[in-house]
Structure 1
Amino acid sequence: MTETQSQFLTENNIVIGLKAKTQFEAISQLSKVLERNGNISDAEAFTKDVLARESMTTTGIGNNIAIPHGKSASVTNASLVFAKNEYPLDWDSLDGSKVNIIFLMAVSSGDAGNEHLRMLAKLSGRLMDDDFVAAIKSENDPKKILEIFNQK
């Protein structure tokens, strides 16, 4: 990813061993990570905004991966959380797979769409690379995961 992409993901926003039992729990717990790290001001409001977006169409893209995202007034800093959940979750994925790799994107509702689309495009491009996907699925050290993300 480019230097621009790396600013969206920091080591503090990498969660290994998330213990969510449902899609709602995963989004809620990851929203709290964003709030704790100063990326959003209100985890509950952000969770509601993400769930409203989820109700439109699934963000389970297949291959055990989901990219939930939301535009919200509570976002203070566009960012991304990467998480590995301990349990496969039902996510209504396009390929029917359960999800245990989650990328939660947070974008300010004041953003005209550019930041959100740029983040999503870069992430989607990386997720088409089988080697990248295999690397993030097999690695559990946050520092090394960040290195994988920052590789060109």
Structure 2
Amino acid sequence: MSLSTILTKETVAIGLKARDKQGIIQEMLDILVKAGLVPDQPAALAAVLERERKMSTGMKYGIAIPHGKTASVKSLVACVATSEEPVPFDSLDGEPSSIFIMTLSPPEKTGPHLQFLAEVSQLFKSEERRSAATSASTPAELLATITRP
């Protein structure tokens, strides 16, 4: 699996407006719904919020990876977005997040879900890549930053 096969210009956004965790999750779900990838937004929202209740998906270095498993999708779907202002996300390092990667997958398909999370985690270990992502001024530029080898 490759990020370039999962992400498209319709599933990448810059300038999220929300200033809290739930608002960011909602905005990201809106992106997936608008792209036609999530037919049942309430079920998807419930899945992501349930995962957040178990343990925050705020990672380190300004990255959050809200995700969940729901029968409302038939295969893995994802979106990536940035916010101009960092947003508190109960991150492991206590720092707010400005890069958000959301993924949803069906409950019975664990492999692609874990592979995607591992690929994203590896990608954003690079400070240079994180900086390029937060500096992107268009969704196309953000997509290019994420999908370049």
**TM exceeds 0.5?**
yes
Q: Which amino acid counterpart does residue 46 of structure 1 have in structure 2?
A: A
Correspondence for 1:116: 113
State how 1:94-109 maps to structure 2 within 5 Å: 94-109=92-107
Q: Separation in 2 of the partners of 1:37 and 1:77?
A: 14
Q: Is 1:147 aligned with 2:144?
A: yes
Unmatched segments (≥5 aa) in structure 2: none
Q: Separation in 2 of the partners of 1:87 and 1:77?
A: 32
Deviates more, 1:117-126 or 1:85-94: 85-94
TM-score, length of structure 2 as denominator length: 0.92
Instruction: Calculate the aligned-residue CA RMSD, in Å.
Output: 1.4
Unmatched segments (≥5 aa) in structure 1: none
TM-score, length of structure 1 as denominator length: 0.91
Does the 8 Å contact 2:82/2:133 carry over to 1? no
Correspondence for 2:27: 29
Q: Which amino acid counterpart does residue 59 of structure 2 have in structure 1?
A: I
Q: Separation in 1 of the partners of 2:137 and 2:24?
A: 18
Q: Is 1:71 aligned with 2:61?
A: no
**Percent of counterpart pairs with the same letter?**
32
Does the residue aligned with 2:59 lie in a helix, a strand or coil?
Answer: strand
Give the superposition deviation at 1:99.
1.4
Give the superposition deviation at 1:135.
1.1
Q: Separation in 2 of the partners of 1:130 and 1:121?
A: 17
Q: Which amino acid counterpart does residue 92 of structure 1 have in structure 2?
A: D
Does the residue aligned with 2:19 lie in a helix, a strand or coil?
Answer: coil
Q: Separation in 1 of the partners of 2:42 and 2:93?
A: 30
Q: Separation in 1 of the partners of 2:48 and 2:115?
A: 18
Correspondence for 1:137: 134
Q: Separation in 2 of the partners of 1:131 and 1:87?
A: 19
